Each structure stands twice: as C-alpha cells, then as structure tokens.
C-alpha cells in the first residue's frame, strides 16, 4: 500500500468513526455559544467622535506619506505654475476663445486625473476645482470598496476617468457626441461634463472678444459659448457646480453602503453557506453511527 492510499484509508475510516461524529457535534455546540464579543454593540463613541478620530488619523497618515501627500502637492504646484505661465495674459483676441476653453478643460480634466488625487470669478474657479478633485477621490473610494486589490482599482478608476474626459465636451463638442449612449446618459453622468461647462461659463461670460477681422463685429462671451463650444448659457454655472457636489454625495453613499454590506451582509452569507454545507454531513453521520 502506498502512502497516498494509506492516508486516504485513514481519512475515510475517521469520517465513519464515532470520534468524527463527536467532534462535529462538539463544534456545533460551540458555534451556538454567545460570548461577550458576539454581543458587543461596537464602539461606544458617538458618530462625530468617530468621524473626528478617523479624519485626524487619516490626515496624520497622509502627511507622513511623502508619495501620497507632499509629492502630489508639489506636482500640483508645478503644473499650476506651468499652466499659469503658458496662458498668462491670454487676452481677448479671437484666438483666445479656444485658448481659454483649452485651459479650462485641462484644469477640469487632466489636473483632477492626478487624484487617482474678480473675487466671485476666482471663487467659482476654486470651488469647481475642489469639487472635481473631491469627486475623483469619492469615485475612487467607491471603486476601492468593490474591487479586490489596489492595482485593479487604479486600472478601473483610470479607465472611468478617461471615458469621463472623452465625453466632457472638449475633445468632441456636446452636440457631436454620438447619441443615445455616449451623449445620453454617459456624458451627463460624468463630473467632467459639468465641470467643463461651469468653467467655460465662468471664464467667458461677460467678456468681449475681437473678431477674425477688425471690420467685423466683436464677439461676446455668450455667443462664443453657444456657437463655439455648444454650451447653453441660460443654465447657471452654479447649477453645474451643484451637480458635481451631488455626484460627490452619491459616490460617498455608494462607498458607505458597500462598506456596510462587506461588514454585515457578507459575513452572514458566508456563515449561512457554511451551515448549509455542514447540515448534510451531519445528517449522514447520524444515520451511519446510530445503532
């Protein structure tokens, strides 16, 4: 008899023995015992205290990670200086219409892609940039709660952000995006679409541009929005910004529900499946061992 046959014989003999039956019965009794750990209601700290503690801990961890926090801050500063110097004093010539649109699209798209990381005029610019970066972070959090590992999350997130930039209305104008899928509903479901439109309105409305020829009438910013970028200027830029913040809330809710599912539902399902697998074995053993 070979070693494998001997092991198989011993395993089969144990499975039919009284010892196996008693061991399974003992395990089943132990699984029904409720201890203090199982009866625990979780942390006794309030929701705000938990949020404060976790937020503080997150800031400390990020500030200690050079690659995650400080390196990205340096990259943002360098890119901001580069963009500012390239588009410095762009003016109101006819060619500046396209230049302003390119600058706004770059800021809303490419700078937020790294997140995988007048006073009212500047205020909207800052809020829109903040909302775009937060939307990317929230989207990545929602993806991370679903995918099994970090690299998979990065790949999926980069793909989603790439599609978001393509249908944002810059690479192809809004009316030229194919219908019904890419324009409705995909483009309207991406934060880039609303960010680009809001930045365009914020930058162009109220300006007067030179025409291609000095003999022609000057071009208003509203006309450039409608004819050059195919954007409806009647909708307020603050509406576009509010849509981005709504997306942030939706992404956070998805993240919250996925975390709750992984904490509560998934362990229950695993336990249920394990109990279902153990029941037939116990029934067979009862019939075999019983005199």
Share of the chain above pLDDT 70, in %: 88
What burial letters (b/e) apply to 87-117, b meaning 16+ CB within 10 Å? beeeeeebebbeebbebbbbbbbebbbebbb
pLDDT at 118: 43
pLDDT at 36: 53
pLDDT at 20: 85
Token reading at 145: 């709660």
> CA–CA separation, 113 vs 240, rounded Å?
19
Q: 95 with 160: CB under 8 angstroms?
A: no
Helix (H, G, I), strand (E, B) or coil at 65: coil
Average pLDDT over residues 29-36: 69
What angle, 0 to 180 degrees and rounded to 10, lies between the N-to-C axes of helices 237-260 and 119-144? 20
pTM of the model: 0.68
Average pLDDT over residues 37-49: 64
pLDDT in tens, 174-228: 888 998 899 889 999 999 999 999 999 998 888 899 888 888 889 999 999 999 8
pLDDT in tens, 92-151: 888 888 888 888 888 777 767 666 544 458 888 889 988 998 898 889 888 888 887 878
Domain ranges of the chain: 89-289
């Amino acid at each position: 008899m070979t070693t494998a046959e001997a092991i198989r014989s011993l395993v089969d003999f144990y499975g039919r023995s009284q010892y196996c039956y008693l061991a399974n019965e003992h395990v089943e009794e132990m699984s029904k015992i409720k201890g203090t750990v199982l009866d625990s209601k979780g942390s006794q700290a309030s929701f705000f205290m938990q949020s404060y503690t976790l937020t503080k801990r997150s800031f400390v961890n990020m500030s200690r990670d050079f690659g995650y926090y400080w390196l990205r801050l340096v990259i943002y500063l360098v890119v901001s200086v580069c963009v500012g110097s390239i588009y410095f004093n762009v003016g109101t010539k006819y060619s500046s219409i396209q230049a302003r649109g390119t600058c706004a699209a770059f800021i809303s798209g490419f700078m937020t892609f790294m997140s995988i990381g007048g006073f009212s005029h500047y205020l909207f610019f800052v809020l829109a940039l903040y909302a775009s970066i937060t939307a990317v972070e929230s989207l990545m959090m929602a993806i991370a709660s679903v995918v099994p590992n970090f690299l998979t999350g990065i790949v999926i997130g980069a793909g989603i952000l790439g599609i978001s930039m393509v249908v944002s209305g810059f690479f192809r104008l809004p009316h030229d995006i194919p219908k019904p899928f890419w324009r409705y509903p995909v483009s309207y479901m991406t934060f880039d679409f609303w960010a680009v439109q809001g930045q365009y309105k914020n930058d162009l409305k109220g300006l007067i541009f030179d025409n291609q020829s000095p003999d022609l009438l000057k071009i208003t910013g509203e006309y450039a929005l409608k004819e050059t970028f195919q954007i409806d200027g009647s909708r307020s830029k603050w509406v576009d910004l509010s849509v981005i913040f709504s997306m942030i809330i939706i992404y956070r809710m998805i993240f919250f529900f996925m975390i709750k599912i992984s904490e509560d539902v998934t362990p229950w399902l695993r336990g249920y499946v394990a109990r279902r697998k153990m029941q037939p074995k116990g029934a067979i053993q009862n019939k075999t061992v019983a005199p």
